Amino acid sequence: MRPTFFLLPLVAVTTAAPMDSEVEDLPATVILAERRESRPSVLAEWDRTTIEDSAPRTLDELLARDPSFSLYRPSSGIFANPTAAGVSLRNTGATAASRTLVLRDGIPQNDPFGGWVEWARFDPWTIENAALIPASRSAAWGNMSPAGSIRITRREIDTQRALLRVTAGSHGTYGGTAAADLVADDGSLGISIVTFGLHSDGFETVPAEQRGPIDRKLDLDAAGADLRAIWRPDSWLTVEPSLSYYEEDRGNGTPLTGNRTEAVDASLRLTSEDADHAWQILAYYQRRRFSSVFSSVDASRSTETLALDQFHVPGDGVGGALTLRQEIGDRFEFSAGTDFRLLHGETQEDAGVFRRRIAGGEQSLAGIFATGHAEFQRGTQLDGSLRLDHWSLDDGKRIERSLTTGSLLRSDFPADRDGWEPSAALSLDQSLGDLLSASLSASTSFRLPTLNELHRPYRVRNDLTEANPRLEPERFISLEGGLEWHPRTDLTVSADAFHHWIEDAIANVPITDPAAIASIFGTLPAGGTGMQRQNVDQARVYGIQAQAAWAPDPCWAFRFDALWSETEFTSSRSQPLLDGQAFPLAPDLRLLGNLEFRPSDPWCFSAGVEYGASRFDDALGTRELPSYTTVRLGARWQATDSFALHARIENLLNEDIPTAIAGNGIRSYGQPRAFWVTAEWAF
């Protein structure tokens, strides 16, 4: 962390007007770009109070309290490699690429090049609300939302305030946040400044019995800042500029390996709102710089050699949206608009000491959409959306030269491609009396392969995965139905059944034919495997998600969540061995239980347990990762109106949480038992 940078918001607060000065509150921010229906159905939702009570170190630790959410590999965003931190709700992803669109204030947050998410970017203090949205309520977004979306809304700048938060705990982890909201006396202008930093010495991911002299901890250094303003020059117009910066350095477990990310985001939103109609114009820019180093490790884990140095992986994106909303009476609402996103990225890398590779391209998407919401008598609600996208993949290239002579070894220029993709959804919500309600929805949407999947090969230990510039878009067709029962005012029970049919599912397909191995890879490292990203003809994901919540009195609250899901490659002509196999890293059962106890206003205690079933690390189902059970404890003490103390223990029983097993049998585990304390001062 950088101390001067970190404390800037506190300097701003001390020079601002005192907190007891009279200021008018700014009106609530309107985010039409989120395209939310009037009463959207959500899989899970967390408000400001819940976020404060949970005090997560990163946002993904909060979202993981719902079984539908998990990173591709079950690890905290503090320690997860960002390329493995994609999210696909309800196990809908056959690879680490996200099938779920992450939105912050209506702006896509998935990386322009790889589609992954840097979860440590989102400081929990800045968040007012977070929600997991199912596929049928996300189709208006088109690309990257076929399995749903995650909606993050930053807190309002409506009251002058400041915060200092300091966290310290196990594995040499410490961090902090300094934040300030400044509001003009007449309420016409609000400015928010947030800086944060995080450091962790990390932990050894390879178990002791397999560890060698070269193994190191997964360390992390991260820092970021957000600057945002809300200005109302007139009663009918709101102007919202925003600028954010983030950087992180990670160690990947050996002296040579690691990765670095730098992210810059800027946006401008103009909103006009009247009694029954509104319009909004949004423009944004995203800049990413990523680098990563991979190595080859000998069998004794005593030496390593540089295998792949992706020293410069730039990704840039620009986008915009125009959204119109009209209310018709008290029962009907309609919105329509258009949006676009232009992406460019490439990898510049050295393969060992032999060749230099430059590979990448451009991707563009533009679409029009319309959504509608209607309420009828007898508790009937109907929501629908239609969307049409045009996409193109342009200027693809893969150029390889000898590092010793500079001679050209490979020169590929894939043909430009484009196409049209429709998305649609229809949802029905019906009240069946005072105690029971039902819902039914159908939707279809798509996912365009990321520039990373098209152009960037990668390596994990001695296992190679090759890119594929010929990938086709994935197409999802989804059905979902659910019931929600309120037998008592303090008890809610719900269950949802879902089924996704996926055409041209993108998977890391094992290459087993010797001739294909020679053609794609040349040779494989000793004990290693080779895979290539390919389209699998047909796949499906189906299951049931259930929840029970009981709050018998103000002091006690109990909650139980379960997700059972089956994943299957149903047809694979290019690799018949995949037929009938489950998706990698997709457990068929995940259970979570949580207890909260509030004996008095200043105190809140919590306990939770999580079970994850066994799953396979590879698409052929040859490397099984065992099941795990973890327990967590937490406490919050609101000592005064301005001071709170949080304490957390994750993985109380120090359970081994398996996250990976390589082709040579080397295992990786997630975070062991961790304890941390957070102190929070409000000014």
Task: Give pLDDT tens digits for 84-105.
Answer: 888 999 999 999 899 999 999 9
Using CA atoms, how far apart are residues 683 and 681, in angstroms rounded to an integer? 7
Distances (CA, A) of 488 to 465, 554, 557, 562, 598: 53, 15, 14, 21, 21
Tell me which long-range contacts 322-325 makes (C-beta under 8 A, separation of at least 24).
322/279, 322/280, 322/281, 322/282, 323/32, 323/33, 323/35, 323/279, 323/280, 323/282, 324/32, 324/277, 324/278, 324/279, 325/32, 325/277, 325/278, 325/279
pLDDT in tens, 152-167: 999 989 889 999 999 9
3-state DSSP assignment of residue 537: strand
Strand partners, 630: 610
3-state DSSP assignment of residue 63: helix
In this structure, the chain runs to a length of 683
Q: Are 179 and 154 in contact (CB under 8 A)?
A: no
Distances (CA, A) of 83 to 79, 439, 456, 489: 12, 35, 11, 44
pLDDT for residue 2 is more than 80: no
Distances (CA, A) of 292 to 117, 564, 670: 16, 35, 20
pLDDT for residue 481 is more than 80: yes
Which pLDDT band holds residue 480 (cuts at 50, 70, 90)?
very high
> Which residues, including other chains, have CB under 8 Å from residue 617's CB and lie 6 or more apart?
584, 585, 623, 624, 625, 660, 661
Q: Average the pLDDT over 649-663 and give the result.
A: 93
Q: Average the pLDDT over 489-494 and give the result.
A: 95
Task: Give the closest residue to 94 by CA, choosing from 454, 635, 502, 613.
Answer: 502
Q: Average the pLDDT over 275-282 and give the result.
A: 92
Task: Give the closest residue to 65 by CA, choosing from 76, 81, 80.
Answer: 76
How far does CA 396 lie from the centroid of its chain? Answer: 27
What percent of the chain clears pLDDT 90, i.e. is strictly above it?
76
Which helix (H) or strand (E) segment holds residue 518: the answer is helix 514-520
**Which of 201-205, 279-283, 529-533 bottoms out in mean pLDDT, i.e. has the lowest?**
529-533
Strand partners, 426: 384, 442
Identity of the amino acid at 456: R
Which pLDDT band holds residue 20 (cuts at 50, 70, 90)?
very low
3-state DSSP assignment of residue 117: coil
Task: Give the closest residue to 497 by CA, choosing from 540, 541, 542.
Answer: 542
Which pLDDT band holds residue 145 (cuts at 50, 70, 90)?
very high
pLDDT in tens, 372-406: 999 998 889 999 999 999 999 999 999 999 999 99
pLDDT for residue 82 is more than 70: yes
pLDDT for residue 63 is more than 80: yes
Mean pLDDT rounded to a whole number for the chain = 91
CA 579, 580, 582, 583 dihedral sign is positive
Task: Give the closest residue to 145 by CA, choosing from 113, 101, 87.
Answer: 101
Question: What is the pLDDT, as a whole number, of residue 513?
Answer: 83
CATH 2.40.160.10 is the classification of domain 3-682: no
Q: Average the pLDDT over 412-437 and give the result.
A: 96
pLDDT for residue 24 is more than 60: no
Identity of the amino acid at 410: R
**Which of 63-77, 188-202, 431-445, 628-642 bottoms out in mean pLDDT, i.e. has the lowest?**
63-77
Q: Where are the beta strands (DSSP E) in 403-555?
A: 408-412, 417-431, 436-447, 458-460, 463-466, 474-488, 491-510, 530-553
Q: Indicate left, alpha or beta for 172 from its phi (over 0: left) and psi (-120 to 50: alpha).
A: left
Using CA atoms, how far apart are residues 468 and 449, in angstroms rounded to an integer? 10
Which pLDDT band holds residue 351 (cuts at 50, 70, 90)?
confident
3-state DSSP assignment of residue 69: coil
Q: Is 53 exposed, middle or buried (0-12, 13-18, 19+ CB in 10 A)?
A: middle
Question: What is the pLDDT, as a whole number, of residue 456?
Answer: 87
Question: What is the pLDDT, as a whole number, of residue 53?
Answer: 85
pLDDT for residue 287 is more than 60: yes
Using CA atoms, how far apart are residues 67 and 547, in angstroms rounded to an integer? 10
Using CA atoms, how far apart are residues 220 and 376, in angstroms rounded to an integer? 53
Identity of the amino acid at 408: L
What percent of the chain clears pLDDT 70, i.e. is strictly above it?
94
